[in-house]
Amino acid sequence: MRITRVYTKSGDAGQTSLVDGSRVSKADVRVAAYGDVDELNSWLGLSRVGLVDTQLDEALGKIQNELFIVGADLASPLSIQVPRIDEGHVTELEHLIDLLLEELEPLKEFILPGGSEFGSILHLARTVARRAERAVVTLAAHEEINQQALIYLNRMSDLLFVMARVANKRQGVSDQSANFSARK
């Protein structure tokens, strides 16, 4: 693919094209779903700026490419032939979660999102992954989708939670417990 122009003017009236060439409103639930995935991908890109943790950087780079597959998947009715997220992608996320969890103590209580800059950005990305998942659930209520894309996003938010904790631990920052009696 060669992109020679960024603007086409075809979206100026609030419509956009899907992979199959059909036109939909930019307010369509499908557009919202893949838009949230695009935002998640951007947050992961930001999280990698200056990252020296090779293991996490490589994992995040792979995930960013897979999120393009999720986006194409969501931008395409199931009748269209495009790369799709499959069970293998989900299994890889689960394996990475399990591997990273080996570094962490089990949680006994809720923790506050935050810590190091890297960990904080991953926590923020986790919340965007949750929003993307909700948008895909909304899309699935309107039309049939690839369920593996939904499962992938669910695991993604779990992975980002674990990655944020690992990132903080590797940078010497402890989890901070949530205080449910914070009023003084």
Residue range 130-183, pLDDT digits in tens: 999 999 999 999 999 999 999 999 999 999 999 999 999 999 999 998 988 866
Q: Confirm whether 18 is domain-assigned.
A: no
Q: Confirm whether 15 is domain-assigned.
A: no
Residue range 74-116, pLDDT digits in tens: 999 999 999 999 999 999 999 999 999 999 999 999 999 999 9
Residue range 23-70, pLDDT digits in tens: 877 778 989 999 999 999 999 999 999 999 999 999 999 999 999 999
Domain range for residue 84? Answer: 23-170
Cβ-proximal residues to 125 (8 Å cutoff; 6+ apart), any chain:
40, 43, 44, 47, 160
Q: How many domains is the chain built from? A: 1
pLDDT of 15 over the 80 cut: no
The pLDDT value given to residue 183: 64
Q: Confirm whether 5 is domain-assigned.
A: no
CA angle 16, 76, 157 (to 5 degrees): 100
Q: Confirm whether 165 is domain-assigned.
A: yes
The pLDDT value given to residue 14: 78
Q: Which among 19, 61, 12 is positioned nearest to 41, based on CA atoms?
A: 61
pLDDT of 7 over the 80 cut: no
The pLDDT value given to residue 11: 60
Q: Confirm whether 14 is domain-assigned.
A: no
Q: Confirm whether 82 is domain-assigned.
A: yes
Q: Give percent of the chain with pLDDT exceeding 70.
A: 94
Q: Confirm whether 150 is domain-assigned.
A: yes
CA pair distance 134, 152, nearest whole angstrom:
13
Q: Confirm whether 32 is domain-assigned.
A: yes
Torsion of the alpha carbons at 132, 134, 137 and 139, rounded to the nearest 10:
-60
Q: What is the pTM (predicted TM-score) of this model?
A: 0.91
- Using a 10 angstrom Cβ sphere, with 0-12 exposed, 13-18 middle and 19 or more buried, the burial of residue 108 is exposed
CATH of the domain at 99: 1.20.1200.10
